[in-house]
Structure 1
Amino acid sequence: MLTNHCYQGDCRAVMRDLIAAGVRVQCIVTSPPYWGLRDYGHPAQLGQEPTLREFLANMVEVFDLCRELLAGDGTLWLNMGDSYAGSRGAPWGPSPSATEARAMTASRRRDDAPIPRSDVRVEGLKPKDLVGQPWRLAFALQDAGYYLRQDIVWHKPNPMPESVRDRCTKAHEYLFLLTKNEKYFYDFAAMQEPVSGGAHARGSGVNPKAVVPAGWDTSAGGHRALTGRYAGTGVGFGRGYDKVAKPRAKQNVSFSSAVAGLVDMRNRRSVWAIPTQSYSGAHFATFPEALVEPCVLAGSRPGDIVFDPFMGSGTVASVAQRLGRRWLGAELNSDYIALQAERTRQPGLVLEASA
């Protein structure tokens, strides 16, 4: 099977061919074109549909094929930004004036130029309404059979400035974790992050900084409410106790032993502060490598295949290759293929996961 390769063409046709050939991928990381954001100059492009409803229907078709391409324990990591409804007719309508362009919302991920996102009329919405593209797509995929496991907020410390005066400057996008099945591969250890200051591993003891209510027995082996407002309530001290507040076997915890449970790593939180990242090979801001890396690490093993149906300049391929994964992609625009080849020119060290 050919890997470390991007197929040029409509991603739906590419995925149908891969599925027919028996290919399965472990992890998909992607950011599809946002509706009404940018004209990529191809008649078959997605994102320029006349209505949001048609765009979402096309996205569901794309990700239905992604789900079929995924291994049974595979994951999909999907980045999607939002837009605002306006009064102009269609995404490909007449170019706005310079004054109008200054008020429009642009995306630092794809292009630094003013983009007509916030002036497109959306059926059922009023001008200036937030469209809610990310959540509409996430719920559509949930209805289509995906498990919607997590919404991750990509916080951009360096967002594109906006001239609006009646709301905050947009400084975040969403990254959704979706899965094919209830049980799936997820490398928990790969998603650990350093802790600043003292923290406590949940389930291993009691936070030593906690204030102990009056009436609690805090001696080793005690751990039940004895007096005060907790007396007779059946409420026990800490986790792992039954309704009558009797400690389960071998669950004795004291404040002195809790101190030993201090940790310097914790499970990654769901807000990721990652600056946007420009790429010198093209006049647009690419999918940041720091946003892709944790998705690849958590969603795949060394030697697994990572796929991006909207490969663009090849960020997902570059990260996957650097991390010892194989990769596949699809891209409609031939101009991007050369960029991908340059970014993946240096072969990565591909390791096979141990049994």
Structure 2
Amino acid sequence: MKDIILHGDVYACLEQLENNSIAVAITSPPYWKQRDYGFEGQIGQENTPEEYIGKLVTVFNKLRQKLREDGVFFLNIGDKYLSRYGKSHLLQIPYRLAYHMVKDGWYLEDVICWFKPNHMPSSVKDRFTNTYEPVLVFTKNKKNIYKKSLSNVIKIPLQQTPWKHTAIFPEKLVEEMLNRVDINDGDLILDPFAGTGTVAAVVKRIRNSLLSKKVFSIMIEKGNMFIDIIKERVNIKDIRKVNDVRYEWSPVKEEKLPLDIEPKEILTDKCGEVFITDTSSEFLSALKGATTEKFKTFHNEDALYFFGVKKWTLQDLYYIHSIFYEGYVLRNMLVISNERRWYPVFMFAKDSTSVEYKFYLDNVRTQLKTEEKNRNWWNESFIGMKVRDISGKKSKEGKIVKIVKKYEDGFPKVVVVQWNGYASIEFVLHPSKDALIMEGLIFKCPKCGNKLEELYNPTRENICPSCGTILWKDIKTIPIVEEPEEIVEEIKKLKNVNYNVGEVIKIEEFEERRKKTKSKFAELERINWGASPGARKLMLGEYFTKMRLYKIDQPTIAQYLTILRKHKGLSIQDIIDKLPKSYKHTVGHWFRKDFGGSVLIPTDVPLLKKILETNDTMLDVLERTVLKFQTVKATIKGKNPGDFIEGLSDEDLVGYLKKLYVLS
């Protein structure tokens, strides 16, 4: 016996194998809409998830014929968010596939949670970062070679490889799978989507180890590039070309929650719910309860829900997807681990296009160790560092050419940025003050002066909880806006020394000033960007972003502008007529309070001030920009939480989840 490569379409290659010949199959097929491998008929580029799942069910049906009666099939497959207008929905592809494979005749032996300690960082602000993938364990019969007493939670880091643009699972993951089965001499190990040949490499190592077992690999791969990699990596000589064959497949038909489930409505908090039960029947009842009108009207439009089940079944992992048809979006499937076993907690929210759900990420960020926070900024150079301007209609890039002023710890406070054809003076936010961008503004009731915890909500009446005043109705009921005192003081100081934040300097003028005077621009010089320390920082993933100083919900800004416009007796068309023609298709979106709306950019504000004949504080706020330090390392505020949670008691878990929708 020997290792072989079958070069061709997966279905055609599977037909070449003998029935009941494969002891173990291990694979990770192309994920849906993740990568285009550049050949016709590839799996993963289907139009819909239903087509993708349907094709895989057909392929794996053929694989089941080739698997021994006691054989085991390990399937690693990732999930995908449905990109759409409004909030994106987690599709639950792995579990929908598992559900339909079981209906097709497979037996689901286990679902292993593979946690990746070195997972990719994420900047998402409205859900947990993805840190794990499932490995589905299928068999043909309950009596098989799978070792059933092992933990179904494994921690294996991602593996670096010399091959670019390839999705690869780690060799240690393959080793872990093979350690979970009883293999013997002569057993065949199959990977029907071989990729770079990781399974073959592990099989070869097992065969050559001290406790060697004479096992052999069969690799199936369509892509020519990957065939070359496998040959180089594993030195397989026997490569057999297989011609494509036509085979019939059809999209799967998804099911909704069964009608005979009795709904159980969880009605404890209008802001959200945390419901974790022991049994599948109670979980499905609660899920059915969430579809009732009573449940929907009881909770706020921006409510957040966490429903979990400890003794879960495949039906629980499958039917959670159906909430999409009931007016919800699934945002995360959290894995709660006690080292040996795991259970799911699903985070979902109403599929509203008019309001964002509450998600207070900062309440649960993982705090950094002290030594990571205390960088010595005095020892770091920022000259030549890249600046990305995302505050306008089109992004652009510049470089820092001068540090005008620093904070007490050496971090730059005011810098000059050279763009293409001009330079500008910019205010820099200290990394320890990142929270000011999200939480810095204070809104107060115009009547009683008390601080308001919530901004404008377009789905209900906005009432001051202290005095009962109805807010956001007209010019007199617009809340008072206050900036953080430290920001106001800094801006005043800058103006006192003639540094206007955001001042634009033409390059010609800037060069002339440098030649003639010992001014604040005198030391500016052209920089060898490739050699500068600041440019080298970019290689470490560090740069600055020019952005709005404050983030305010788009519906709040839209309502504010609507009140100002009506107070001046202007229609949207009146404003369009007073602006350049390029604004014709833009202005209307400034006044929309749903996901179709857009916020005017800082450079639009002076134009609007002139039209509305006002210099309101809110407009000043919308005009302010700042440079924010960006890094691939966790921010000073801490690391975004992942969707794999361990080490919490039941009580602590509930408290942790409630922090996400209750402002602390």
Query: Under TM normalisation by the shorter chain, which class is it?
Result: 0.5 to 0.7
Which residue number in structure 2 is paired with residue 334 of structure 1?
A: 224
Q: Which amino acid aligns with 1:287?
A: F
> Under a length normalisation based on structure 2, what TM-score does the superposition of the two structures give?
0.33
Between 280-289 and 316-325, report the one with greater CA deviation: 280-289
Aligned AA for 2:195? G
* Deviation by residue 1:300-352 (Cα, 9 ceiling, x = unmatched): 324310000000000011111211220101101011011111221399xxxxx
Cα distance in 1 between the residues matched to 2:100 and 2:70: 21
User: What residue is the counterpart of 1:57 in the other structure?
Assistant: 54
Q: How big is the shift at 1:61?
A: 0.7
Query: Scaled by the length of structure 1, what TM-score is found?
Result: 0.61
Unaligned runs of 5+ in 2: 208-214, 238-664
Q: Which runs of 4+ in 1 moved over 2 A?
A: 281-285, 297-303
Q: How far apart are 1:187 and its partner, in Å?
A: 4.8
Match of 2:103 in 1: 143
Task: Give the CA deviation at 1:157.
Answer: 0.6
User: Which of residues 205, 219, 235 is equivalent to 1:322?
Assistant: 205
Matched, 1:173 2:170: no
Counterpart secondary structure, 2:55: helix
Residues 156-171 of structure 1 aligned to structure 2 (within 5 Å): 156-171=116-131
1:80 aligns with 2:77: yes
Q: Identify the residue that residue 45 of structure 2 maps to in structure 1.
A: 48
Give the whole-Å Cα distance in 1 for the aligned partners of 2:87 and 2:106: 32
2:190 equivalent in structure 1: 307
The offset of 1:127, in angstroms, is 4.2
Seen in structure 2, the aligned counterparts of structure 1 residues 346 and 56 have a Cα distance that, compared at 3 Å, is closer
Work out the CA distance in 2 between the residues paired with 1:18 and 1:280. Answer: 31
Give the superposition deviation at 1:269: 1.4
CA contact (8 A) 2:74 2:177 kept: yes
Q: 1:79 to 1:282 in 2, by over 3 A?
A: same
Amino acid at match of 1:291: L
What is aligned with 2:567?
Answer: none
Note if 1:7 corresponds to 2:6.
Answer: yes
CA-CA distance at 1:281 after TM superposition = 3.4
Q: Which residue of 1 aligns with 2:548?
A: none
Say which SS state the counterpart of residue 137 (structure 2) adopts.
Answer: strand
Report 1:220-259 matches (<5 A).
none
Structure 2 vs 1, CA of residues 285 and 9 (structure 1 numbering), >3 Å: closer, same or farther?
Answer: closer
The answer on whether the counterparts of 1:15 and 1:65 sit within 8 Å (CA) in structure 2 is yes
Higher relative contact order (CA 8 A, sep 6+): 1
Q: What is the distance in 2 between the residues matched to 1:156 and 1:60? A: 27
After superposition, the Cα gap between the structure-2 partners of 1:342 and 1:310, relative to the gap in structure 1 and judged at 3 Å, is: same
Quick one: structure 1 residues 17 and 346, their matched pair in 2 at CA, closer, same or farther if it must change by over 3 Å? closer
Q: Which amino acid aligns with 1:296?
A: L
Q: CA deviation digits over 1:179-238, x for unaligned, max 9?
A: 0112111357xxxxxxxxxxxxxxxxxxxxxxxxxxxxxxxxxxxxxxxxxxxxxxxxxx
Q: What residue ranges of structure 1 are gaps of 5+ in the alignment?
A: 89-125, 189-266, 348-355
Q: Which has the higher helix share?
A: 2
Q: Could you say what secondary structure the match of 1:87 adopts?
A: coil
Shift of 1:9: 0.7
Q: Letter of the aligned partner of 1:294 in structure 2?
A: E
Asked if 1 retains the 8 angstrom alpha-carbon contact of 2:20 and 2:69, the reply is no
Match of 1:259 in 2: none
Q: Secondary structure at the match of 2:110?
A: strand
1:278 is the counterpart of 2:180:
no
Letter in 2 for 1:274: I
Does 2:91 correspond to 1:131?
A: yes
Q: Which residue of 1 aligns with 2:551?
A: none
- Higher mean Cα deviation, 310-319 or 268-277? 268-277
Change (3 A) 1:37 1:281: closer
Spell out, residue by residue over 1:39-95, the C-alpha distance to the aligned partner (whole angstroms, 9 max, x if none): 00011100001111111110001100110010111000000111111128xxxxxxx
How far does the alpha carbon of each residue in 1:154-185 deviate from its partner, in whole angstroms, 9 at most, with x for none? 00111112221011110000001110112111
Work out the number of aligned pairs and report it. 229
| Corresponding residue number in structure 2 for 1:103 | none
